[in-house]
Chain A
Amino acid sequence: MFYRLSGVHHANYVSDSRIFKVPADRNLAIFVFLFGLAAPFLLPSLYLNSYMLPWLIWTAAALGLNLVTGWAGQLHLGYAAVMAVGAYSAIHAARFGVPWEFALIIGGLASSVIGSLFAFAALRVKGLYLALTTLAMQFVMDWVLTHSPAISGGSHASLQSPTLALLGQDITSDTGYYYVAFGWCLLVTIFMLNLKRTGLGRALVAVREKDFAAAILGVNSFYYKILAFAASSFIAGVSGALLVATFFFLAAPEQFSVAVSIQVLAMVIVGGLGSIIGSYLGVALILLVPGLVNGIVAGGSQSLGMQINVETLAHIPNAVYGALIVIILLIEPLGLGKLYGNIRDYLMVWPFDQLRK
């Protein structure tokens, strides 16, 4: 009923390889897009720049990680380090006087080079060994950042980002920042949606399922793994640079620490490997829920007039948040994206599936 399938026939390859095969999906996507476009006029600025903006940028970053982990099947524990490379190179480039458009691309390319260079060495090993090697990259990057004032910006290790300007326009308002984040996230989402239906996407999936089986099919698995690392690192680099340019306004090593790497990986896993909508939902859960639960618990205890120790008050949201992750993964190990998929599949034929019962 909600997803009307009547009249939807795919008679040729072009029609069958559409992004949205069911009109309802397309309509939903259009609705979400319009909402995103209108958000600055609908939402108070607090929600816009404290929740929506980081959510969109982190979603773009998580989608990048999803490319390498969800599509190509390579566990990556040093994603924040790659973001740091992009952020620092872009900011240094912008401080040097390079226009932001190019600075962002420089950041992306620098990440790409470092990320895939590392992958070159790392891809000689697989699975858990690869995970540990990428973790090593994270530690190398942490060390480099805390020990080279030239990169990290003096003894306080904080590097200020110049004012963001795109297409000759200085961007300083909340709305402006939001649209930049929105635009980037949209771009990455469209790329990922299309990835599914290209040869590249299918090759990546083949590599993920079994790399030597893919090799027998004529897919050069090493090449595609490197390609996945390079593409995902590019996305990471630009996302990292935009995160600093539109949200933090200065880069510090803690923003790209190992904890952040784990967090992004958690976003992808809780969201669902290889799921685009899952990345959106996963980021919302990992990034926004702690703050929201914190607010709810604090507000609740205040309105109920309970005298709770501040420390306890801080730990309740953490417990709730942890429990939430466990519960979600227990209900659906494939993540929030699959959970959404289940609901969609159920509604796809509802209420007609009830007739048979």
Chain B
Amino acid sequence: MRQLTKVLTVISMMGGLTAGAQVLAEPFKVGVCYDLSKAYTFATPQVSQAALDLAKLINKKGGIGGEPVEVIVRDHGNEPQRGIECYSKLSREGVFVFDTLSTPVSLAILPRAMADGRVLMQSLVGRGDAVDGTVFDWVYPVGPTYWGQAANDVAYIKQLHDGDMSDVKVGFVYFDYPFGQEPIEILQTLSEKEGFELDLYPVPLPGSDQAGVWSKVRRDKPDHLIVWMLGGAHVVASKEMQRNRIPMEKYISVNWLNEVDIANIGNEAAIGLKRGTNVVGGPDVALRQEIMAELYDNGEGSGPLEKTEDVFYNTGLAMYSIVFEAARRAAETDGLPITAVSYKAALETLEDYDANGLMAPITVTADDHGGGGKTRIEMWDGESWVPQTDWISEYSDVVWDVVKESSSKYGE
């Protein structure tokens, strides 16, 4: 019995020692509180897999400043109170960089992150006016806002019509809730500015019945359609478009359209379809190939291989390349351990950073937390996405007017 006690004591002491060692080598941790079980599952598995893979790759190469990095993935089921729970728990464990990839949860965490001084990355979700760094110190929606993205779509249409939009008709098909309604204001402003006609086509949630919408589109005959919908709704839309004989070329989707949607629409049927994006799609990007060679070929990937062939995997790589690049810079300038303050400062040094050709180059400054909001339009040619424009960020004065107008109301 006494022997057993001794053994137990030694074991527990060893346990204590390793725990102590872990505290010393405090790794750079990212809190990934995602909705892996409810509304955002069309994208979160790919994005979190990308985050985990990227962390593994970095650790394989020696970590950041010699310390390993850690990605902590938790499910919040798109419920604000569980998101807050995840945030509070991880932030007490020393995490100061968070991402939620969910608009309701991002909104719920934002006031806390602002008060606690934690960096909230919220690429592609949450309130768009958070790009205004003068108001939202701790929020970094690096990547395009929906406003900027819609403005770039208009710029692309203008380019197609040689700069004259006076007799162009643009239809805006959108989910009739805040996600889809967001770009309306900017589109209306641009319609006045450029003189094109704007027709609005709200689609009731969940978007499985769009028959009425598309027969109206057929009657109105818009020249282009800017579409703000997600996942399966694209497939429903494509069926309705075929029924109404509306050519796929008119369709310009928001960035939330991936290979799964293309497969469901049908490779052939989807030819001509366009989407706005801030990352390079397809499996050929350098970073993904490096991950393939280092991890998946050795059987060390963080999930199934087919998920890495999805454009949202690239989106995830882009988001977390930014996260880790900033950490690397923070470690370089201010040394270890990285703190929230040094991390924030490092984020704001990112200039024309494109993660080795993976995404639109971003430049984050203290005023512009969005990184410039560049996107491009790509077209599906049956096999791959063909870029139709360069990385563009047009009408930024108009976009920033809307941003400022909205952000000035925060904290009133």
Contacts and interface: CB of A to CB of B under 8 A. Distances in A.
Given A46-B89, A247-B84, A310 B412 contact: no
A290 interface: yes
A254 interface: yes
B100 to A, nearest CB: 13
Residue of B36, B103, B129, B406 with most chain A CB atoms under a 10 A cut-off: B36
Interface residues of B, number: 46
Interface in B75-110: 75, 77-78, 80-82, 84-86, 88-89, 92, 103-104, 107-108, 110
A51 B85 CA distance: 8
Nearest to B86: A291
Contact of B406 (A50, A155, A295, A298): A155
Interface stretch (A75-83, A156-164, A220-228): A156-164
A157 B184 CA distance: 14
Contacts of A158: 107, 127
Nearest to A252: B107
A252 B104 CA distance: 7
Given A146-B176, A155-B406, A309-B303, A54 B111 contact: no
B73 interface: yes
Interface in A228-279: 247-250, 252-255
B73 A310 contact: yes
A160 B108 contact: no
Nearest to B127: A156
Contacts of A157: 177-178
Nearest to B147: A155
Interface string B1-20: 00000000000000000000
A310 to B, nearest CB: 5
B45 interface: yes
A252 B108 contact: yes
A189 interface: no
Nearest to A95: B412
B212 interface: no
Contacts of B45: 310-311
Contacts of A310: 36, 45, 48-49, 52, 73, 75, 302-303
Given A156-B178, A252-B108, A310-B49, A291 B37 contact: no
Contacts of A317: 75
Contacts of B104: 252, 254-255
A250 B111 contact: yes
Nearest to B405: A154
Contacts of A313: 36, 73, 75
A111 to B, nearest CB: 20
B199 interface: no
A51 B92 CA distance: 14
Interface in B181-222: 181-182, 184-185
B74 A155 contact: no
Contacts of A95: 412
A247 B79 CA distance: 13
A290 B82 contact: yes
Residue of A49, A153, A248 with most chain B CB atoms under a 10 A cut-off: A248
A314 B412 CA distance: 38
Given A156-B178, A310-B49, A314-B75, A291 B85 contact: yes
Given A156-B128, A156-B182, A290 B89 contact: no
B225 to A, nearest CB: 21
Given A155-B406, A249-B111, A287 B36 contact: no
A175 interface: no
B280 to A, nearest CB: 24
Nearest to A152: B178
A116 B133 CA distance: 45
B36 A160 contact: no
A255 B80 CA distance: 7
Contacts of A248: 80, 84, 108, 111
A156 B406 contact: yes
Contacts of A154: 406, 409
Contact of B178 (A49, A146, A160, A318): A146
B381 to A, nearest CB: 31
Nearest to A288: B85
Sorting the interface of chain A by its residue count into under 10, 10 to 19, 20 to 34 or 35 or more gives 35 or more
A318 B85 contact: no
A290 B77 contact: yes
Interface in B97-153: 103-104, 107-108, 110-112, 127-129
A92 to B, nearest CB: 12
A186 B52 CA distance: 45
Interface string B318-338: 000000000000000000000
Interface string B394-407: 00000000000010
Contacts of B88: 46, 49-50
Given A51-B85, A291-B85, A160 B185 contact: no
A146 B112 CA distance: 24
A252 to B, nearest CB: 5
A197 interface: no
Contacts of A298: 74
A315 interface: yes
Given A156-B182, A252-B108, A315 B176 contact: no
A315 B37 CA distance: 6
A304 B286 CA distance: 35
Interface string B378-412: 00000000000000000000000000001001111
A298 B36 CA distance: 13
Given A155-B185, A158-B127, A314-B75, A50 B178 contact: no
Nearest to B402: A155
Contacts of A50: 84-85, 88-89
Contact of B75 (A147, A155, A252, A294): A294
B81 A247 contact: yes
Interface string A314-328: 110110000000000
A11 to B, nearest CB: 48
A158 B49 CA distance: 30
A353 to B, nearest CB: 41
9 contacts: A46-B88, A46-B92, A154-B409, A155-B182, A248-B111, A254-B80, A309-B302, A313-B36, A315-B36
Interface of B: 36-37, 41, 45, 48-49, 52, 73-75, 77-78, 80-82, 84-86, 88-89, 92, 103-104, 107-108, 110-112, 127-129, 176-178, 181-182, 184-185, 302-304, 406, 409-412
Which 10 pairs between the two chains have the least Cβ-Cβ distance? A314-B75, A314-B36, A254-B104, A249-B111, A156-B127, A157-B178, A50-B85, A50-B88, A310-B73, A314-B37
Given A310-B75, A314-B36, A315-B36, 10 more contacts: A46-B88, A50-B85, A146-B176, A155-B182, A160-B111, A248-B84, A249-B112, A253-B177, A290-B82, A291-B86
